[in-house]
Amino acid sequence: MNAPSHEAEAGIQQVKLLIEGEWKASTTQEWRDVINPATQQVLARVPFATPEEVESAITAAQRAFPAWRKTPIGARMRIMLAFQALIRENLPRIAQTLSAEQGKTLADAEGDIFRGLEVVEHACSIGSLQMGEFAENVANEVDTYTLRQPIGVCAGITPFNFPAMIPLWMFPMAIVCGNTFVLKPSEQDPLSTMQLVELALEAGVPPGVLNVVHGGKDVVDALCTHSDIKAVSFVGSTAVGTHVYDLAGRHGKRVQAMMGAKNHAVVLPDANREQTLNALVGAAFGAAGQRCMATSVVVLVGKTREWLPELKERAARLKVNAGCEPGTDIGPLISKRARQRVLDLIESGIFEGATLLLDGRDVQVPGYEQGNFVGPTLFSSVTTNMRIYTEEIFGPVLLAIEVETLDEAIELVNRNPFGNGTGLFTQSGAAARKFQSEIDVGQVGINIPIPVPVPFFSFTGSRGSKLGDLGPYGKQVVQFYTQTKTVTARWFDDASVSEGVNTTITLR
Ligand code: NAD
């Protein structure tokens, strides 16, 4: 962390807070550089907001709530319609920023924004998504119906790896349901998130409905414990997600926490070899493996173990370079620290006896010598007690495990504590049906390597990858961001005959 910088002097942008519709310069003494991971160029400085600044963001959201919850649903929806159009229009510009601060390729940065844009598009259907239920005549002249009402101020805490998609999982659906919001973006790459927030204001989100504070643990803990925050959405690592879930839960909030992963792809001998190998390489090494749904373990069933040399060959062909360079397949890791952690884990794999088939540790990237690069790395002979298997690596490292049968593969995947995503590659409908039924993982791909559902479904990671029962986006998140009120009503008409006093609990 750095001393406060003087913007004019250093020529480096200071990221602002957004409080009650105004962009505020933080008065904090704690700042962190936002760094281009391919070049180490400082792109901006991000403040760690003071307790008073966090308090005023929550107060602004609380003040905006009564009027916003009464804003007609069509008016809220039309803001989302304007927002999605603005995102589409500005997508190439935001992708440039995202690629520069996060490292992923320009095409993948566009994909990051597009997957978030799809959630905003879905938010435009809020008219039908937020409908209640109605049952007529549940007793004499009695009807029962439900209202889906907003819950108040919600908070969102997001990770570095999808700085567009994940904030867009959260605040559009929360506010279109009539809530107000305080967003805490990743301090590692907040710039593209802030460009999206600017567009939300331009689309018509009123002052105080969306607020942004920056920072780390102190800011997150303040959001998790403040009495005016009613719900917390978190996406990030398992350690932090568990802390957020416990802390916010203890303070009476609804919490959803999407966390770390170890995603297995199971390959059966009847799978289409060409398509499967390409899918595995893309899903394991794309975004330098920094996706919660990246394939990190390939389970080779039977004679598909013979595919390993070809898998290695295809992985070795990937081009490692800065995300802005044409033809790049793998960009840098987010930070020097993240790179060192991945290198340490590779070392541990060698030490613990796995076979290093492809070694990405010494990759050279001319023109970007300072970048946080690790090339594609492939291990075989991996056992489930090795650190490379028990820990999430979050880098371009694929582990291969060989088994004899589909049953053995299912048993292996189900024994792993994480449950984010998994895939089966096969041409057998019967094998696919058995797999989808018996596998204990929340998101299953059949010949699809990264089965992230589109937004009219919900993100459904499970077991060690998730705390809380309702997932982001889709119908589940409408439930998460609303409270159901049940109304039981009797309207007497003049002809109704009074049946006298009823001292039982029965409705007549
Ligand atoms: P992280 O947990 O380090 O950070 C996430 C957020 O928590 C950030 O906003 C950060 O500022 C904050 N934070 C960090 N340390 C904290 C602490 N001690 N107390 C309170 N808040 C703290 O995660 P990351 O490195 O930014 O993201 C990568 C992780 O996110 C990986 O584990 C990945 O699998 C996971 N992830 C999961 C999903 C999913 O949907 N399951 C999606 C994307 C990423």
Kindly indicate the confidence band of residue 67, based on its pLDDT and cuts at 50, 70 and 90: very high
**Residues with a known catalytic role:** 292
**DSSP letter for each residue of 355-377:** EEEE--TT---TT-TTS-----E
User: What average pLDDT does the structure give for the chain?
Assistant: 96
CA pair distance 248, 146, nearest whole angstrom: 27
pLDDT the model gives residue 500: 85
Distance 258 CA to ligand 1 centre (A): 9
**Phi/psi at 434 (nearest 5 deg)?**
-60, -45
CA pair distance 177, 475, nearest whole angstrom: 12
What number does CATH give the domain 263-446?
3.40.309.10
Tell whether ligand 1 has an atom less than 6 A from the beta carbon of residue 237. Answer: yes
3-state SS class at 403: strand
How big is the CA angle at 504 (ends 484 and 133), to the nearest 5 degrees?
Answer: 20
Distance 186 CA to ligand 1 centre (A): 8
Distance 212 CA to ligand 1 centre (A): 17
Domain 17-259+468-486 architecture: 3-Layer(aba) Sandwich (3.40)
Tell whether ligand 1 has an atom less than 6 A from the beta carbon of residue 258. Answer: yes
Closest residue by Cα to atom 22, ligand 1, is 217
Residue 1 has pLDDT above 50, yes or no: no
Tell whether ligand 1 has an atom less than 6 A from the beta carbon of residue 47. Answer: no
CA pair distance 50, 248, nearest whole angstrom: 20
Q: How far is CA 430 from CA 116, 135, 265, 266, 433, in A?
A: 34, 41, 17, 15, 5
Listed in order, the ranges of the chain carrying CATH 3.40.605.10 are 17-259+468-486
**Ligand 1 site-directed mutation target among 102, 115, 161, most atoms within 8 Å of CB:** 161
Tell whether ligand 1 has an atom less than 6 A from the beta carbon of residue 165. Answer: no
Greatest alpha-carbon pair distance for the chain in Å reads 90
Average pLDDT over residues 318-346: 98
Q: At what angle do helices 106-123 and 165-176 cross, to 10 degrees?
A: 10
Average pLDDT over residues 442-462: 96
Q: Is 415 exposed, middle or buried (0-12, 13-18, 19+ CB in 10 A)?
A: exposed
pTM: 0.96
Tell whether ligand 1 has an atom less than 6 A from the beta carbon of residue 222. Answer: no
241 Cα nearest atom in ligand 1: 2
CB atoms within 10 A of CB 376: 26
pLDDT digits (tens, 9 = 90+) for 199-250: 999 999 999 999 999 999 999 999 999 999 999 999 999 999 999 999 999 9
Closest residue by Cα to atom 19, ligand 1, is 217
Listed in order, the ranges of the chain carrying CATH 3.40.309.10 are 263-446
